[in-house]
Structure 1
Amino acid sequence: MKSEGFNSHSKHIVLKHAIKHKNVSLTCKLFGISRTTFYNWYRAYQKNGIAGLQSKEPQKPQMPNKVSSSVEREILDYVAKYPLDGPKRIYYEFKSEGLDLGESGIYNVLKRHNLSQKRQRLEYSKNKTYPISVKKKKRQAIPFGDQAKSVNYPGQCVIQRIDFIGKFDGVGKIYQYSIYDVYSRLGVVKLYNKKQDIDVWYFFEHKIMYLLKTFNISIDYLLTYKTKEFLPYFVKGNMLIEVTDDLNINHRFVEYEENSVLDEMTDFNRFLVKDFYSYVENKNSVNSFSKVEREFQKFLRNYNFLTPISKGVNSGKTPIEVVLEQSNNKGLNYEELPIWILALLNQKKRVDVK
């Protein structure tokens, strides 16, 4: 059924179904609508109730290529500080701060001021020193501040980032998308050998959401480590909003100097480089990307299930044990855990006995 065939009453039924079953993907599949359509209805309902679901007369299309004088000033200020960035990079940077401008609109501003070429922007930057004044969305305060010791349970603060690890002989390039829970120190990682293959939110939907459901936990705050190179992989399309809305996650882009809680994930990455990637460089038999992936997942399982935390409030426990403690408090039935998790837990018991 096409989305235009729904009236306000039927739209309301769709929303209630999703809320009841806590599964937007299932609802969209059942009623034959896209996730984008669902979230358009959901946001309209949150804002205006049933009235927001009523069909409206077609409106004149908005012109994303036109920008106000104040936004134009924002773009010029940005160019003054980052002259190497072109329209696409500026578009992603602004989008991460809550300003969803059209890329062509940004280009038109640059062209109008003779700044469409890199050499023109560099020359402009030499004579301009404007402070960046991008109007940022009002960010909700993080209750634990910037101190990891103030995080009190799994899922309260989760960090995600993308890194280029390097180029390895016989293997090629390795890009790493990592998700790290600050309290339990549990790490989930996906490796890519091509930058264009990175699909953050597909992996989040199919892996992270599965783990959240399995362990009966949720994410309160998701902090995305903000770097220019990989910013497009987080803000491209609507998946960032859809996934975080679906899971009721408070999301923030955070730069390193802004929040020292990111030190936790930096330490995790250093550990991976020191204990795994250094091993790969010196291991001649690990000579393809697929072999690196297999070895890495073994290494990560060993870290999450068998390696005790060395310091802090959870010292002596493994990351998975910390997560399961929280799950147990929420009434998790261990018998319902997947077989692969039970097998790894039994492996941990055998190691402890020895």
Structure 2
Amino acid sequence: MDKQLKFEIIIEGQKYGVTATCKKHNISRTLYYRWLKRYKTHGIEGLGKIEKNFTPVNKTKPEIVSTILNLIKKHPKFGPREIKYFLEEIGYDISESAVYNVMNRNNLTRRAKRLKFANKSEKKANRNYPDFERIKSGECWLCWTTFCGEFEALGSIYAYTIFDYKSKIACTRLYNQLSMKNFEDILTGLAIPVAQSLGAECKHLCFFDNDIIEKQKGSLLSYTTVQHFGYDINVHMLKESDDLTEANELRKEYTHQCLSFLMPLIYKGVSFNKLKIDLQSYIRDYNIKNKLSYNGEFYSPVEYHAKSTNAEVILPLWAYIERQY
């Protein structure tokens, strides 16, 4: 099977579901995720014929080890086999024995040890801020909610945003209601996959205490589940009374850009689903094409991240397709 066909199958799986796509093309889910992993690592060229090199079982990549440990934090009752299944779902082709080896090296083969490990991993939101002057691209994400308005045909519209403080890479989705679960949705369904594709490692997740989401029932502390998706993240609450000029300006400027794009479409009468899809295209162009100023030099947010981290950026699938959520 040639690389172009493999790429088309990958795209189809992202649009219509992996299980249905694999059944249609008579391939296994394991093979599909193997292709997906090769695409994420090497781009379309990685889907062609490659020479297989032997990799010792004790050479599990650091990012896979980190993912395994964070899956254990979320699912401490699961053993190597169950963790292997989770890894397959997110595109890692790794054996059950390799998962066990990681557990063994970290003294987590016993269920009681894993439960203790998971309980120790919980962190509480705090008001100590990250050092904004020293953080690197991809390390600190600002989170906020914007009320776009109440509309007869569309109902209430809220824009949820996760925004990298340094690179200005943004992830935004629209919802009809206020809920911290929507932040978890955008984080795990969009922001973290994007960060993994760009080799970014988030260390700080910052909410604003004047955000409308904070007026809802439910504690921000429940949001510490973010630690279980591949990163060890500190959750912060930014107080309105503190001097956070740069963070507030970034929030204000980006929100203005989004509203300037959305409002004409809303008043034009587009459906809510169409509005969400159009916003995806807008945010993608913002991240990849839109030139912003960084100390007098102009780059797109993705270009700036690549330059500042010396990363070889291979655009992931979100750069090519629209996805319902």
TM range (shorter): 0.5 to 0.7
Change (3 A) 1:222 1:265: same
- Residue 237 of structure 2 aligns with an amino acid whose one-letter code is F
| Separation in 2, partners of 1:305, 1:265 | 19
Where 1:212 maps in the other structure, the secondary structure is helix
Where 1:223 maps in the other structure, the secondary structure is strand
The residue number in structure 1 matching 2:130 is 142
| Separation in 1, partners of 2:67, 2:184 | 18
The residue number in structure 1 matching 2:283 is 300
Where 1:230 maps in the other structure, the secondary structure is helix
Where 1:199 maps in the other structure, the secondary structure is helix
| Separation in 2, partners of 1:322, 1:182 | 12
The residue number in structure 1 matching 2:237 is 253
Change (3 A) 1:25 1:249: closer
Where 1:218 maps in the other structure, the secondary structure is coil
1:23 to 41, 53, 68: 68
Contact residue 179 and residue 188 of structure 1 kept, 8 A: yes
| Separation in 2, partners of 1:253, 1:30 | 35
The residue number in structure 2 matching 1:279 is 264
The residue number in structure 2 matching 1:186 is 169
The residue number in structure 2 matching 1:171 is 154
- Between structure 1 and structure 2, the one with the greater Rg is 1
| Separation in 1, partners of 2:192, 2:135 | 21
The residue number in structure 1 matching 2:253 is 267
Shift in Å, 1:315: 3.6
Greater displacement, 263-272 / 19-28: 19-28
- Give unpaired runs (5+ residues) of structure 2: 1-61, 84-111
Contact residue 166 and residue 173 of structure 1 kept, 8 A: yes
1:42 aligns with 2:117: yes
Contact residue 224 and residue 254 of structure 1 kept, 8 A: yes
| Separation in 1, partners of 2:218, 2:206 | 13
| Separation in 2, partners of 1:199, 1:179 | 11
Shift in Å, 1:292: 0.9
The residue number in structure 2 matching 1:338 is 316
Shift in Å, 1:41: 1.5
The residue number in structure 2 matching 1:124 is none
Change (3 A) 1:243 1:235: farther
Shift in Å, 1:170: 2.2
Change (3 A) 1:26 1:242: closer
Shift in Å, 1:338: 2.8
| Separation in 1, partners of 2:195, 2:225 | 17
Shift in Å, 1:244: 3.4
Shift in Å, 1:190: 1.4
| Separation in 1, partners of 2:153, 2:119 | 52
| Separation in 1, partners of 2:124, 2:317 | 42
TM-score, structure 1 as length reference: 0.53
The residue number in structure 1 matching 2:210 is 227
- Residue 263 of structure 2 aligns with an amino acid whose one-letter code is S
Shift in Å, 1:22: 2.5
Where 2:299 maps in the other structure, the secondary structure is coil
Change (3 A) 1:155 1:21: closer
Shift in Å, 1:163: 2.1
Where 1:205 maps in the other structure, the secondary structure is helix
Percent identical: 18
Contact residue 210 and residue 240 of structure 2 kept, 8 A: no
Contact residue 129 and residue 238 of structure 2 kept, 8 A: no
Where 1:224 maps in the other structure, the secondary structure is strand
Contact residue 204 and residue 233 of structure 2 kept, 8 A: yes
Listed one character per residue, the Cα deviations across residues 156-180 of structure 1 (whole Å, up to 9, x for unaligned) are 3320012221113422210111011
RMSD, aligned α-carbons: 3.8
| Separation in 1, partners of 2:223, 2:114 | 12
Contact residue 184 and residue 314 of structure 1 kept, 8 A: no
- Residue 252 of structure 1 aligns with an amino acid whose one-letter code is H
Shift in Å, 1:189: 0.6
- Residue 299 of structure 2 aligns with an amino acid whose one-letter code is K
Change (3 A) 1:30 1:283: farther
- Residue 143 of structure 1 aligns with an amino acid whose one-letter code is D
| Separation in 2, partners of 1:191, 1:184 | 22
| Separation in 2, partners of 1:200, 1:289 | 19
Size of the alignment, in residue pairs?
Answer: 225
Where 1:322 maps in the other structure, the secondary structure is helix
Change (3 A) 1:167 1:316: same
The residue number in structure 1 matching 2:298 is 316
- Give unpaired runs (5+ residues) of structure 1: 1-16, 48-95, 99-136, 145-149, 345-354
The residue number in structure 1 matching 2:21 is none
- Residue 279 of structure 1 aligns with an amino acid whose one-letter code is P
